Amino acid sequence: MIMRKKLFKILIPFTIFFFSLELGLMILNALNIIKLEEPIYSFDNSRRFWAENDPDFGVWHSANYSFRHKKECFDVKYLTNSIGARDKERQISASGSRFAVIGDSFAEGWGVEDQDRFSNLLEGRTGIEFMNFAVGGAGLTQEYLIYKKKVMPFEHDAVLWALFPINDIVDDDIEFHAKYSHNRYRAYWVGEYPDYHIEHGLDSVQQSHFYFEKPNNIKSFLKNFTYTYNMLRAFKYVYQRTQVPEFDLSDSPGYFQINDEQWDRTKYSIEKMKEAMGDKKLYIVTIPGDHSYKIYKDHRYEVPLRDSLTKWSAKLGFQYYDLLSEADRMDSTEWKSLYFDCDAHWNTIGHKWAADKIDSVFNISR
Q: What CATH number is attached to the domain comprising 90?
A: 3.40.50.1110
Buried b (16+ CB within 10 A) or exposed e, 201-228: bbeebeebebbbeeeeeeeeebbbbbbb
Asked whether residue 13 is domain-assigned, the answer is no
Phi-psi region of 131 (alpha: psi -120 to 50; beta: other; left: phi over 0): beta
Domain that holds residue 185: 51-215+248-362
For the stretch 305-331, pLDDT in tens is: 999 999 999 999 999 999 999 999 999
What is the Cα gyration radius of the chain?
Answer: 22
Separation between Cα atoms, residue 145 and residue 134, nearest integer Å: 12
Q: Is residue 73 part of a domain?
A: yes
CA distances from 95 to 127, 154, 158, 363, 366 (A): 11, 12, 14, 21, 18
Residue 232 lies in a domain: no
Q: Within a domain: residue 76?
A: yes
What average pLDDT does this structure show over 327-345? 95
Q: What is the pLDDT of residues 181-234, one digit of tens each?
A: 888 899 999 999 999 999 999 999 999 988 866 556 677 667 777 878 777 777
The structural domain count of the chain equals: 1
**Has residue 234 been placed in a domain?**
no
Residue 316 belongs to a domain:
yes
In a domain, 221, yes or no: no
pTM: 0.86
Q: Is residue 17 domain-resident?
A: no
Q: Which of 84-88, 89-93, 145-149, 219-223 has the lowest mean pLDDT?
A: 219-223
Give the DSSP letter string of 292-357.
Answer: HHHHHHHTTT--HHHHHHHHHHHHHT-EEEEGGGGGGG--HHHHHTTB-SSSSSB-HHHHHHHHHH
What are the tens digits of pLDDT across the range 142-163? Answer: 999 999 999 999 999 999 999 9
Strand-strand pairing, 187-192 and 319-322: unpaired
In angstroms, the CA 24 to CA 13 distance is 16
